[in-house]
Chains A and B, each alone.
Chain A
Amino acid sequence: MKQTIPLIIVFGFGFFVIIAFFIPLSAFQDASQTFETWYTGVIAFFVFIGIFNIVKVNASKIQRRLSDWQYSIILLIFLALMMAAGFIGGPNGGVFNYLFEHMQIPLGATMFSLLAFFVASAAFRAFRARTPEATLLLIAAVIVMIGRVPIGYYIWRGFPDVVEWMMNVPNTAAKRGILFGADLGLISMALRVLLGIERSYMGGGRE
């Protein structure tokens, strides 16, 4: 039962949605629409459980005095502060928006901007043309790096056109080939899931 019911669900709902696509009757379309609406409702709980897990993991870290447990207190304080500001004042509330604008945005933006420094370090230490293929890769990268910014246009007016040709021809060709392969793989994986052959996403092993 613990295996059968879930497999019936995935097969039933999955093939109903596929079949409904080909049947223009309103009953089928409405049912398909209802299942898709329920899907977005269920997905909301996936997010809630993610937040619940953050609280659980950090609370456990504090309780067991694991390494850097003090920082978990800060995490939970700010999580509570943000939720209180939002649930009391609403998503349009002053405090909530203040925290979003002056903490979340700068912190998120700065975290990712750190990568600029590491890419510079990697450019110096790791971007080496050891093989003919790597040489071609580096040449293409350098052409894009210069041609895609105003200095490239300033050096030679034709530079942006060369880059545009590179993006429209060899880049498109290779990306399209990869795209076909990935899509065919994804479709075969989707079929395996619907037919119950692929069950790893269910977790818990064969019970």
Chain B
Amino acid sequence: MSTEIGVWIAALLTLAIYSFLYKDNPFYKVAENIFVGVSAGYWAVVLWFNYAWPNLFEPLIMRGNFIYLIPIIVGLMMFAPLIPKVSWLIRIPLTFTMGVAMALVILQRIQGEIFPQLQATFLPLIGVSPMQTISNLLIIFGVISTLIYFYFSKAHKGVLGVFAKLGIWFMMVAFGASFGYTVMARISLLIGRVYFLLHNWLQLI
């Protein structure tokens, strides 16, 4: 068994969270609230030292670079709702950030996703092995039929209906794969904690 206090603290907090599996209890609630408090405190410290001080306040206060007043004042407007008379000022930082972010969405989603993915769907059907031809055909039909499934301006009847149905089958395989991976992810997280308890705390492995 470990003799380090920190390992014991971590182990006891781990067991407090797991006690929820039996039923909800004060140990779990205490651990849960410690987690929220510590996480929020951590975020504040890291944000200040990693970014806010060196990138905003230090250039302004220590080097007199007044251009940094602009993002600071705009950022402080986030607190405007505390004063009802000027609460509308919160729209300024919201619209500024939305404007810049949405502009980049338009540019980058087209350049970085739609064009490359479209290009990757134009696959060769001749000059490759028969298995690759079948796979490429399946990819092309899969993409088209999935898109057709989400086209709701026309009823899914006739040829459109057939493609929509095919789209559903492709999506079921994709969602099944995602589901299998999700199960895998959850189990991995549990393995990580049990490994800590057995290796670091109880030192059984």
Contacts and interface: CB of A to CB of B under 8 A. Distances in A.
B128 interface: no
Contacts of A43: 97
B170 A113 contact: no
Interface in A4-47: 5-7, 9-18, 21, 35-47
Interface string B16-51: 011011000000011111111111111111111111
Q: What size tier do the contact residues of chain B reach?
A: 35 or more
B172 A137 contact: yes
A74 B33 contact: yes
Contacts of B141: 173
B41 A78 contact: yes
A183 B114 contact: yes
B97 A202 contact: no
A60 interface: no
A155 interface: no
A77 B20 CA distance: 23
Q: Say whether chain A's binding surface is mostly helix, strand, loop, or mixed.
A: helix
A132 B165 CA distance: 12
Contacts of A179: 113, 117
B41 A80 contact: yes
Contacts of B55: 40-41
A71 to B, nearest CB: 4
A7 B110 contact: no
Contacts of B88: 2, 204, 207
A18 B13 contact: no
From B41, B78, B107, B193, residue with most partner A Cβ within 10 Å? B41
Nearest to B144: A177
Contacts, number: 374
A40 B42 CA distance: 19
Contact of A91 (B6, B46, B105): B46
B191 to A, nearest CB: 8
A193 B94 CA distance: 11
Interface in A99-139: 99-117, 119, 123, 133-134, 136-139
B199 interface: no
A154 interface: no
B63 interface: no
B61 interface: no
A38 B71 contact: yes
Given A44-B56, A77-B37, A140 B172 contact: yes
A141 B177 contact: yes
Q: What size tier do the contact residues of chain A reach?
A: 35 or more
A176 B45 contact: no
A177 B179 contact: no
From B35, B74, B149, B173, residue with most partner A Cβ within 10 Å? B173
Contacts of A103: 9-10, 13, 34-35, 38
B65 interface: no
A90 B174 CA distance: 46
Interface string B93-104: 111111111111
B102 A170 contact: no
B130 to A, nearest CB: 14
Given A91-B50, A106-B14, A136 B169 contact: yes
A178 to B, nearest CB: 6
B95 A7 contact: yes
A96 B18 contact: no
19 contacts: A11-B99, A38-B71, A41-B74, A42-B96, A54-B40, A74-B33, A78-B33, A82-B38, A107-B38, A110-B14, A113-B189, A141-B177, A171-B177, A171-B178, A172-B139, A173-B142, A176-B120, A176-B139, A186-B105
Given A42-B93, A104-B35, A133-B169, 7 more contacts: A41-B68, A47-B43, A78-B33, A87-B48, A172-B142, A173-B174, A177-B143
